[in-house]
Structure 1
Amino acid sequence: MVGNPDFLTGRGQDQSAEFQELESPEGELHLRFYIPSGNEFALPATGIKEVLSPSPDRITPVPNVSPLLLGTLNVRGRVVWVADLGQFLGDAAMLNTDRQEISVIAVEDQDILLGLAVDRVVGMDWMDIEQIQLAGSVPDSVAPFLKGEWKLDEVGNSLRLLDQVAILRSARWAA
């Protein structure tokens, strides 16, 4: 087929079909999600190991640990700590665990793997990293974990970019 001269020139059977140019994405790929308060955040796709949707009964509570931790999850034989990301960021609203599945974003840095439980995952988007701005009025509990934000519209809606390495390395886990 590739040796056929019509293949390279575009002539032949598909000549009547319109040529559709593929859009080349601009920026970097990010995972968008919401925490229980309704605030939207993003994480760079390069720092995400995987996105899981376990049932709440698969997360095993562990006594005498930080109240930010929901428990552990067995992922293909590997124990993954699962944390309520909203509570970690100082969100007043607690994650609703009384549902069929909980969205868990597994982030990794070196040998540290942590599951971040969120309210819901929106999906993946290409975001231009050049357009990121310093975050405006941000609570002190969130500021150390932000890289910046994108302004989404004129009304003031924004998408905040989190730093998963800062989250993983935080001293808050010891509290």
Structure 2
Amino acid sequence: MIDSVKKGSALARVASPPKAPVSSEDEKFLRFQLGTEGKALLPLNIIYQVMRVPGSEILPVPQMPTCVLGIYNWRGEMLWLVDIGQLVGFPTLWEPSAGKGGVGGDLMTIAIQVNDRSLGLVVPQINDIELHDSQQMQVPSMGLFAPEVMPYLQGYLITENSEVLMVLNGEAIAQAPLWQMHRINGEL
């Protein structure tokens, strides 16, 4: 799963051991940035691979929302790449490459697999793998988070440093209404 990350990358080092004994409620999460200010977590059990995708190898798809960056040949299959930050209401951080209509530079991508469907979530930065007590997850209430993120939010955690970490729901992301018309046509 995550062991395919190259040495020296952000995930090549595993999070330091927890300070307290691991309880049965502790779950591993991948922590990453959403936009410039948001911090989010995804459960590690839905993450298939973390990789850098060259922007030059992304094929743009016409008539798609701007959060869909395009498709990428991943292990001989089409992997749809989505700017997850933009999908959930953060401003896009990606600049189109000159004259190609695609995205320039390398993009940090989290390949998730939910219900036999793969999707590439593009993020500006991946921080680390962390253990969190899933029993401490709080249910989000309206007004606490932007309305765009609410359908994709499983809950949130507050760290010892009073940081608010959004826990995204991989299944909700994979089942987003945005994909429904393309699934019917067998494209996604």
TM-score class, shorter-chain normalisation, is 0.7 to 0.9
| Mapped contact 2:56–2:104 kept (Cα < 8 A) | no
Distance 1:43 1:57 in 2: 27
After TM superposition, the score normalised by the length of structure 1 is 0.78
How many residue pairs match? The answer is: 152
Q: How far does residue 99 in structure 1 lie from its aligned partner after superposition?
A: 6.0
Partner of 1:103: 108
Q: Which runs of 5+ in 1 are unaligned?
A: 1-22
Which of 161, 164, 171 is the aligned partner of 1:158? 164
RMSD of aligned Cα (Å) = 2.1
Rg larger for: 1
Q: Which amino acid in the other structure matches residue 165 of structure 1? A: E
Which of 80, 92, 112 is the aligned partner of 2:117? 112
| Mapped contact 1:104–1:115 kept (Cα < 8 A) | yes
The alignment partner of 1:30 has SS state of: strand
| Mapped contact 1:135–1:160 kept (Cα < 8 A) | no
Distance 2:32 2:22 in 1: 20
The alignment partner of 1:167 has SS state of: helix
Q: Deviations along 1:25-56, whole A, 9 cap, x unmatched?
A: 44011000002232000000001111111121
| Mapped contact 2:155–2:167 kept (Cα < 8 A) | yes
Q: Which runs of 5+ in 2 are unaligned?
A: 1-19, 96-102, 182-188
| Mapped contact 1:66–1:173 kept (Cα < 8 A) | no
The answer to whether residue 126 in structure 2 is matched with residue 121 in structure 1 is yes
Distance 2:179 2:148 in 1: 13
Identity %: 28
Distance 1:99 1:64 in 2: 20
Residues 157 and 81 of structure 1, relative CA distance in 2, 3 Å threshold: same
